[in-house]
Amino acid sequence: MVSEPLRADASLNRARILETARRLFVERGADVPLDEIAKRAGVGSATLYRRFPDRASLQRAVAHDVLQQAMDAALSASANEPVPFAALARYMHEALDLGVSAVMPVLFTQIGDDAVLAATREASALCVQDLIDAARRSGQIRADLDFADIGLLLVRLSRPLPGPIPPEVDLQLAHRHLDLALIGMRSEGDGTGTTVSGPSLSLDALRDFQIREREIMMKTETAAADVLATVQAWAHAEGAMDSPAIGDLLDEQFMAIGPYGYILNRQQWLDRYLSGDLKQQRFEVSDASVRLFGDTALVLAKQSQQTTYKDQDASGSFSITLILVNTGSGWRLTGEHLSPAPPPMPG
């Protein structure tokens, strides 16, 4: 189904929202209030939410829009500048004005890289690569200049300077510094120029970095999910008073510190069930969050229980810290610290 074209005023409002959001995402971060974006764009909040019902949809729209504009700038520079070096320089200056290299790093960690966004980003990158290849073939740029030199330079120049420099002066300085950098990009008589330090990275090399980053993120997400699954399995075993299952989930070095300072080792923890002294009517762990440190995981959570110990009520709600280790055959609990749950915040 083809969407109907926007009315002129609606199209203008959308453009204002995207431009303002792009600027504020850079200035204030990806979590800037949407109502603030609407106010700065000169539209009502209802207008913004009608076009972008949530933050993620606006962030994704900004990313698509700025990448498309960057690709258009590269194509326009190639078509209208007969000198390849001038085409590359023109694109880089327009990219600074668009802020593509400032906003994309801010948004990428928020929205990820779906198929449509990845295709747009790839198409935009290839257009820039064409400009670099043309300038290199003409002998007008250093032979060792590559894609990452252009892309990462724009990222560095696009970031706002610290201190009280007004935004308009900041942008003017970015263009000045780009002009200085462009002087250094020109080839000398042998086509190389002054020796520079550091690696020359191609577009494919940058892709490899992105692939490795995604692999690390996926590995981290998988490990966090495994940790949470282990915590829930332990909570289920505690609630069922299944001492063999609990024992399988506790590391040999397990130690627990209770809310009143008592300390139990692994065998003492299990003996409470084996003796029949500890009885659970309910045992739940909720609101768990995971922090990973290699093969060690720290879990902050809430624990609530309806419990008796030696026929005395031991029920309660606790804030808990769990320490888990990866033994190679799975995650195991090696420590728990319980604190009384704090009272609700007033108001």
pLDDT tens sequence across 213-249 = 778 888 889 999 999 999 999 999 999 999 999 999 9
pLDDT tens sequence across 151-205 = 999 999 988 877 677 788 888 888 999 988 998 888 765 445 555 556 667 788 7
Tokens of 116: 């449509």
Q: Which residues pair with 278 in a beta bridge?
A: 309
Q: Residue 279 above 50 pLDDT?
A: yes
Within 13 Å, how many C-alpha atoms sit on residue 52's CB side? 24
User: Distance (Å, rounded) from C-alpha 345 to C-alpha 347?
Assistant: 6
Q: How many CB atoms lie within 10 A of CB 176?
A: 11
pLDDT at 346: 57
In this structure, what is the dihedral angle of CA atoms 67, 89, 182, 130, given to the nearest 10 degrees?
A: 70
Q: Which residues pair with 333 in a beta bridge?
A: 250, 324
User: Distance (Å, rounded) from C-alpha 278 to C-alpha 325?
Assistant: 26
User: Distance (Å, rounded) from C-alpha 283 to C-alpha 105?
Assistant: 43
Give the percent of the chain with pLDDT over 90: 62
Q: Which residues pair with 286 in a beta bridge?
A: 302
* 162 within 8 A of 113, measured Cβ to Cβ: no
What do you get for the CA distance between the two ends of the chain, in Å? 49
Across the range 41-67, mean pLDDT stands at: 92
User: Distance (Å, rounded) from C-alpha 254 to C-alpha 213?
Assistant: 34
Q: Which residues pair with 264 in a beta bridge?
A: 256
The phi, psi pair for 187, rounded to 5°, reads -80, 155
Residue 27 C-alpha from the chain's centroid: 17
**Domains detected in the chain:** 54-201 (1.10.357.10), 215-340 (3.10.450.50)
In sequence order, the 6+-apart residues with CB closer than 8 A to the CB of 241 are: 273, 278, 279, 280
User: Distance (Å, rounded) from C-alpha 170 to C-alpha 167?
Assistant: 5
Across the range 64-73, mean pLDDT stands at: 94
In sequence order, the 6+-apart residues with CB closer than 8 A to the CB of 127 are: 71, 74, 75, 78
The structure's pTM equals 0.61
In sequence order, the 6+-apart residues with CB closer than 8 A to the CB of 316 are: 259, 304, 305, 307, 340, 341
Match 């093969």 to its residue by tokens: 295
Q: What is the CA radius of gyration of the chain?
A: 29
pLDDT at 2: 45
- DSSP H helices in the chain: 8-28, 34-41, 45-51, 55-80, 84-98, 100-111, 115-137, 147-158, 167-185, 203-239, 243-249, 266-274
DSSP state of 196: -
Q: How many CB atoms lie within 10 A of CB 207?
A: 13
Q: Residue 72 above 90 pLDDT?
A: yes
Tokens of 284: 């739940």
Match 């083809």 to its residue by tokens: 2
Element (H, E) at 320: strand 316-326
* 196 within 8 A of 146, measured Cβ to Cβ: no
* Residue 35: pLDDT band with limits 50, 70, 90: very high
